[in-house]
Amino acid sequence: MLQNESAIVTGAGSGIGREVSYRFARSGAKLLLLDKDKTRVEQTAAELLAQGAEAEAMATDVLSYEQLCDAADRAESLYGKIDIWCNCAGVSTMNHVWDLTEEEWDFNMDVNAKGVFLCVKVAAAHMMPRRYGRIVSIASIASLQSDPLLAHYCASKWAVLGFSKTAAYELAKYGITVNCVCPGTVATEMQAREMQWSAHLQGIDPDQVYQNWVTGTPIGILTQPSDVAQAVEFLARRENRMITGIALPVTGGAEL
């Protein structure tokens, strides 16, 4: 349980971030929800408030150090502390290596890798004086293996994993754990877009892409956002003090 824990969740307006927010709220956490999309993150907060949770939303760009500092200050003003920081904001595009543009590379590396770096930097500054914290970042199965059409995305998620492992080592003496959750193919809006892109780039039907994903998952079904949120909550718990620097696959065995 996360009773009375204070948590910041980025990318809380949709997908995994939204589901993590719901999971945290059910476990008793007090939430500050961040997303670049003001309308969607406010909707998430409103739904949680209607269910009796403590939650506030802030339109925040994870590439703005100043906005992240403002968010951290707001969380401390609301709840007096930051116990948990979960990095769920992320993007993807798909292309062959030979057709990748600098814009696609920069877009993925900026949001997925630089965004995590800035968030961890801000989170650590607030957690270190209290000598306690739980930082969890959403990496990907693409941080554990190659993934055709996603070379730039893989690069960004491998960066998240490498950065997080080193951050875990450096922050351990302050009582702060830093971990990654690595989802496989998750049934979200992002994956729905990727199914269409992949079909176009491979010259096959979207239904075949979906079937290939299912076939490539030994358990035989795609990962749900709730599966990922459950893993995030586990790593965010206070009692899990000896788990740090890990990459926890939530893939149904797709990386085996």
Check whether residue 131 and residue 192 sit in a common domain.
no
Check whether residue 202 and residue 158 sit in a common domain.
no
109, 116, 158, 221, 238 from 55: Cα distances, Å: 30, 22, 32, 32, 20
Check whether residue 170 and residue 235 sit in a common domain.
yes
d(CA 105, CA 153): 8
Nearest to 5 by CA among 166, 136, 167, 174: 136
d(CA 124, CA 127): 5
Q: At what angle do helices 65-79 and 115-127 cross, to 10 degrees?
A: 40
| pLDDT at residue 242, rounded to an integer | 98
Asked if residue 199 belongs to a domain, the reply is: yes
Nearest to 162 by CA among 229, 237, 112, 125: 112
Check whether residue 118 and residue 211 sit in a common domain.
no
Asked if residue 1 belongs to a domain, the reply is: no
| pLDDT at residue 210, rounded to an integer | 84
Domain count, the chain: 2
Is 22 catalytic? The answer is no
| Neighbouring residues of 144: CB distance < 8 A, sequence distance ≥ 6 | 161, 182, 247, 249, 255
Check whether residue 141 and residue 151 sit in a common domain.
yes
Asked if residue 191 belongs to a domain, the reply is: yes
Check whether residue 125 and residue 28 sit in a common domain.
yes
Check whether residue 60 and residue 78 sit in a common domain.
yes
* Strand, coil or helix: 103: helix
| pLDDT at residue 231, rounded to an integer | 98
Check whether residue 136 and residue 199 sit in a common domain.
no
Nearest to 22 by CA among 243, 241, 228: 228
CB 182 within 8 A of CB 144: yes
Check 79, 153, 169, 174 and give the catalytic one.
Answer: 153
Check whether residue 16 and residue 62 sit in a common domain.
yes
| pLDDT at residue 192, rounded to an integer | 79
Per residue of the chain (256 residues), give pLDDT as tens: 999 999 999 999 999 999 999 999 999 999 999 999 999 999 999 999 999 999 999 999 999 999 999 999 999 999 999 999 999 999 999 999 999 999 999 999 999 999 999 999 999 999 999 999 999 999 999 999 999 999 999 999 999 999 999 999 999 999 999 999 999 999 888 777 887 878 788 888 888 888 888 898 999 999 999 999 999 999 999 999 999 999 999 999 999 8
CB 6 within 8 A of CB 84: yes
Check whether residue 192 and residue 133 sit in a common domain.
no
| pLDDT at residue 197, rounded to an integer | 77
Enclosing domain of residue 28: 6-184+224-249
